[in-house]
Amino acid sequence: MTKRILIIYILFCCYVFTIKANTETVKDSTAYGQLTITSPFPRVDPILVHLDSLTHDAFSSKNEYFGGLTTNIPAYDPGYSDAVIKKKLEQIPAVFPMTYNSDVKTYVNYFTQVKRGYTSRMLGLCEIYFPMFEEYLDNKKLPTELKYLPIIESAFNPKAQSRVGATGMWQIMYKTGRMLGLNMNSYIDERMDPRRSTEAGINYLEQLYKIYGDWQLALAAYNAGPGNVNKAIANAGGVKNFWAIKRFLPQETQNYVPSFIGMVYAMTYAQEYKIPATKPLFNPNMIDTVMINEKVSLQHISNTIGIDKEELSFLNPSLKLGIIPPSAEGFALRLPIGYIARFETNRTTINNDPSMFLPEPIVVEEVSEPVWTTVTKTITHVVRSGESLSGIAQKYAVNLTDLKKWNHLKSSSLQKGQKLSIKTTEKQKVASAPKVTYTSPTVTTTPPTTKPVSTSVNINTASIPGTFNSTTSTPTTKTIEVWETVPTTKYHIVKSGENLSTIADKYNVSLSQIKSWNKLSSTKIMKGQKLAIKTTTQKKVTKIVPITSASSTSKQVIPSNINTPINVREIENNIPTISSSESLPNTGVKYALHTVLPGETIYTIAKQYNDASVDGIKQFNNMNSTEVKVGTTLRIPIQ
């Protein structure tokens, strides 16, 4: 009996010491009372690890722009008690609840004592970014204190990237960025654009607050996602309070709200802790923008106007490859004011970046193109408990009537374990058809010494304009096989767990396009709903086209812009020449006829024809602007 009591006593002591080690009790003799929070601080805090890595990030540690990281700030502690800190938090004019407890105290100490240099640097950078944040927050009528969030998210680093792929100053995930309307492609990621990402991040915070009606929960959802917050609320018995659900959240999110409150306190009372602002050498008020429509590299701009390429990259962080892509709407390039006049003076030179138009030799390459056929297959489904015939039809995207017909069913009644035959179709590769790809920005203007390449595309080089070996010819016709881009419509059956954003990603289309095609007023969709997806496919067609008379000069020309698949293009000869006998031969200018397809611009069309001159296309077609309309036929000079 005595041994049993002794063992129980020892276990009880161990339990008491464990609780004491993991509990921080904040006592004060004033009216603020006693705070007791059982919330052990982790040895490895994901928030602090993330911020520490950003401190030494190659982008954010550039002395030229930020003035460097201040590390020699003398230590200073005003000796405030917990009651004083709690009162100071309450005095901050904030809508966001400035709770004070042991978790928040840890981050107050971290930002005011341990990382004084980091806080000093953030004080300097806030002079650059806070005016922009405050403008967007004021337009949305949201709490101004949310401007501190990018400090916790990215340390004001527009190129910051987390281990899970969250990118930019506001740490936005790819799918969230697409949902918020950000432009992300091979050249540009607007999550790294300070202005566009700020607009998107604040819009997202507004959406989350509308869901929870609580700013602490909205911040938790911004970090962990609404799904994790909803699970934590359910596990906590349905209570909607961050501190009540905190232990059910991911480790990083548990510390997210406390670190935010700690940073707001440190930034607000930095002077009382004798933390100065490290002034960045970069002055945001001395920056302006210029619009660029052409494909240009930052290196070319740097070489032309004499600005440092790294400074250009710093001012334009959304350019992933250091290349501005061609676009009709243009790209707003940020430049120091001192370089604006020099840029405008050299705009023509800048727009013609030679590195974007490097000549390449003709490459004739035979590749295999798969041929597909549709195969009908029958699969067997075993009925489970609770399943219905309509539910099974939706699962396999088949018609309920067909399902009953395949299984000789007179009613919709089913039994558990019953086997149903379901006919589905799938594509299978049955053969390969060779095709030929030509790539070259030049045109051969001398007769070939070898026999022309024979391919299954059946392009007769003797019938292509400009390949005549006689001195004259009479009007006739020629037959040419080409690949024509044909618009088609696919239908997608919404499955469980899918949303409009994931479906848009699957088919490589935009969210707004799907909404337009299906006349949707919102992004809400239901399981089993049928959505129309418009796309294009390639169809091989035979065309008979006229041939005009050739000139008296014999030439053999192999157009290097014939590609497979290809839009409908007919190569013609002997149209009236442009008035420049020195730049063009007397035989006339060779050109292609191109029908504008959906999504094409004059710049993408010029690129298809070996980077043809945009100005030349405009002149050939009497165009006053670069706008092109779908269905219009353009003459593209190829010589």
Domain residues for 26?
A: 2-32
Do residues 281 and 64 lie in contact, with contact meaning Cβ atoms separated by under 8 Å? yes
pLDDT at 235: 93
Stated length of the chain: 639
Query: For residues 321 and 339, what is the distance between their CA atoms, to the nearest angstrom?
Result: 22
Query: Which of the residue ranges 35-39, 255-259, 307-311, 380-384 has the most confident prediction, judged by mean pLDDT?
Result: 255-259
Classify residue 19: in a domain, yes or no. Answer: yes
Residue whose structure tokens are 């007179």:
410
pLDDT at 484: 59
Q: Is the pLDDT of residue 439 over 50?
A: no
pLDDT at 635: 82
Q: Are residues 526 and 558 in the same domain?
A: no
Classify residue 510: in a domain, yes or no. Answer: yes
Q: Is the pLDDT of residue 211 over 80?
A: yes
Q: Is the pLDDT of residue 381 over 90?
A: no
Of 282, 297, 454, 431, nearest to 371 by C-alpha is 431
What are 464's two structure tokens?
A: 């292509």
Among the residue ranges 379-393, 398-412, 433-447, the one predicted with the least confidence is 433-447
Reading phi first (left if > 0) and then psi (alpha if -120 to 50, else beta), residue 471 is in alpha
Q: Are residues 536 and 614 in the same domain?
A: no
Task: Look at 49 and 299; give whichever has higher pLDDT.
Answer: 299
Catalytic site residue 627? no
Domain stops at, among 504, 528, 547: 547
Task: Look at 9 and 235; give whichever has higher pLDDT.
Answer: 235
The number of beta carbons lying within 10 Å of the beta carbon of residue 164 is: 8
Q: Is the pLDDT of residue 194 over 70?
A: yes
Do residues 602 and 614 lie in contact, with contact meaning Cβ atoms separated by under 8 Å? yes
pLDDT at 45: 54
Residue whose structure tokens are 């029908």:
595
Query: Would you place residue 300 in the very low, low, confident or very high pLDDT band (cuts 50, 70, 90)?
Result: very high
What are 123's two structure tokens?
A: 């004080």
Query: For residues 511 and 513, what is the distance between their CA atoms, to the nearest angstrom?
Result: 5
Task: Look at 363 and 411; give whichever has higher pLDDT.
Answer: 411
pLDDT at 616: 81
Cis before 326 (ω within 30): no
pLDDT at 165: 87
The number of beta carbons lying within 10 Å of the beta carbon of residue 219 is: 25
Q: Is the pLDDT of residue 75 over 60?
A: yes
Task: Look at 408 and 588; give whichever has higher pLDDT.
Answer: 408
Q: Are residues 556 and 580 in the same domain?
A: yes
* Identity of residue 94: A
* Over residues 40-48, mean pLDDT: 47
Q: Is the pLDDT of residue 69 over 70?
A: no
Q: Write down the pTM of the prediction.
A: 0.51
Task: Look at 496 and 89; give whichever has higher pLDDT.
Answer: 89
Classify residue 468: in a domain, yes or no. Answer: no
Do residues 577 and 588 lie in contact, with contact meaning Cβ atoms separated by under 8 Å? yes
β-partners of residue 591 are 572, 637
Q: Are residues 194 and 257 in the same domain?
A: yes
What is the pLDDT of the chain when averaged over all its residues?
74
Classify residue 569: in a domain, yes or no. Answer: yes
Q: Is the pLDDT of residue 551 over 70?
A: no
How large a percentage of the chain has pLDDT more than 70? 66
Rounded CA Rg of the chain: 34
- Helix (H, G, I), strand (E, B), or coil: what is residue 89? helix
Q: Is the pLDDT of residue 347 over 50?
A: yes
Query: For residues 56 and 58, what is the distance between their CA atoms, to the nearest angstrom?
Result: 6
pLDDT at 168: 92
Strand residue runs (E) in 458-608 = 476-493, 530-547, 569-575, 589-595
Q: Are residues 409 and 313 in the same domain?
A: no
User: Domain count of the chain?
Assistant: 6
Query: Would you place residue 485 in the very low, low, confident or very high pLDDT band (cuts 50, 70, 90)?
Result: low
- Helix (H, G, I), strand (E, B), or coil: what is residue 26? strand
Among the residue ranges 281-285, 369-373, 532-536, the one predicted with the least confidence is 369-373
Q: Are residues 240 and 292 in the same domain?
A: no
Query: For residues 325 and 297, what is the distance between their CA atoms, to the nearest angstrom?
Result: 9
Classify residue 340: in a domain, yes or no. Answer: yes
In angstroms, what CA-CA distances link 493 with 124, 397, 507, 508, 601? 52, 7, 13, 16, 32
Do residues 65 and 280 lie in contact, with contact meaning Cβ atoms separated by under 8 Å? yes
pLDDT at 436: 40
Q: Is the pLDDT of residue 458 over 50?
A: no
Catalytic residue among 153, 199, 311, 572: 153
Classify residue 567: in a domain, yes or no. Answer: yes
In angstroms, what CA-CA distances link 435 with 163, 518, 609? 42, 36, 19
pLDDT at 556: 34
Classify residue 126: in a domain, yes or no. Answer: yes
Q: In CATH, what number is assigned to the domain containing residue 601?
A: 3.10.350.10
Q: Are residues 62 and 152 in the same domain?
A: yes
* Identity of residue 633: T
Q: Are residues 267 and 373 in the same domain?
A: no
What are 494's two structure tokens?
A: 């919404």
Domain stops at, among 408, 432, 456: 432
pLDDT at 416: 87
Q: Are residues 236 and 344 in the same domain?
A: no
DSSP letter at 147? G
Query: Would you place residue 241 in the very low, low, confident or very high pLDDT band (cuts 50, 70, 90)?
Result: very high
> 256-268 and 116-140 are packed helices; what angle lies between their axes, rounded to 10 degrees?
100
* Over residues 327-355, mean pLDDT: 90
β-partners of residue 432 are 370
Q: Are residues 627 and 558 in the same domain?
A: yes
Query: What is the full DSSP assignment across 365-379?
Result: EEEEEEEEEEEEEEE
* Over residues 160-164, mean pLDDT: 85
Domain stops at, among 322, 356, 390: 356
> 194-212 and 226-235 are packed helices; what angle lies between their axes, rounded to 10 degrees?
30
Do residues 580 and 619 lie in contact, with contact meaning Cβ atoms separated by under 8 Å? no
pLDDT at 43: 42
Q: Are residues 566 and 541 in the same domain?
A: no
* Over residues 44-71, mean pLDDT: 48
pLDDT at 17: 45
Classify residue 37: in a domain, yes or no. Answer: no
Burial label, 332 (beta-carbon count in 10 A; 0-12, 13-18, 19+): middle
Residue whose structure tokens are 């030349």:
616
- Residue 260: which H helix or E strand, with range? helix 256-268
Q: Are residues 417 and 480 in the same domain?
A: no
pLDDT at 486: 66
